[in-house]
Amino acid sequence: MTGMEHFEGRREVASPEDMERLGRELGGVLRAGDLLVLTGPLGAGKTTLTRGIGAGLGVRGPVQSPTFVIARTHPSEVGGPALVHVDAYRLGSPAELDDLGLDPDRSVTIVEWGRGMVDGLVDTWWELEIERGWSGTGIDNACGTTGPYAAELEDAAPRIVTVTRRP
C-alpha cells in the first residue's frame, strides 16, 4: 500500500493553490507502479493537480498539459520514480493507450480523461474525480452566458475531489 488510502473519499478544494497543495501531498505518498486516472470537465484542475504531484515527487518540470503530445515523461531529480503524464482525451480506445508503450510498473502514471481506458493496463489504480462548481452565480455559465468574466468566476469556484481505488 502506498498511503493513498489516507486520501480515499470526498474533499472540497477551495482554490487552484489548494489543488496544487493536494497534489504535492499525493506526490509525497506515490510510488513506482501507482496509476491515477483523473476525471473531470475542462478546467476542473486536472493539470493543476498533476503539477502538484510532480512537485511532490520531485520531478523535472514544467508539468503542463500533454494534450497535443499525448504523453510526457518527467524524470525524477531526487532518485524517485519518473512521472508519466498522459492525456487520453484524443485517444479512441484502450488499445491506443496501450500502443503508447507505457511502463506503469516503473513510474507514477497519471492519465487525464482515462476513465474506461486503463482496464487491463494494471490490476488496480486510483480514480480521482474532480467536480467543478458553478461559482454561486445562479446562472448556468457552462454555455458562456455570463459574459467576459465567466472564466474568472469559474476558476474561483471550489472543486470536489473524490478519490476511489479501482476496480
154 — pLDDT class (breaks 50, 70, 90):
low
pLDDT in tens, 9-20: 999 999 999 999
Cα–Cα distances in angstroms (integers) from residue 101 to residues 85, 94, 159, in the given order? 13, 12, 33
Over residues 156-164, the mean pLDDT reads 93
Over residues 129-156, the mean pLDDT reads 58
Identity of residue 40: G
The overall average pLDDT reported for the chain is: 89
For residue 89, pLDDT beyond 90: yes
Side-chain half-sphere CA neighbours of 81 within 13 A: 21
Identity of residue 122: V
148 — pLDDT class (breaks 50, 70, 90):
very low
For residue 41, pLDDT beyond 50: yes
What's the pLDDT score for residue 135?
A: 56
pLDDT in tens, 71-82: 999 999 999 999
DSSP 122: B
Query: The whole model's pTM is what?
Result: 0.87
What's the pLDDT score for residue 2?
A: 59
For residue 152, pLDDT beyond 90: no
DSSP 52: H
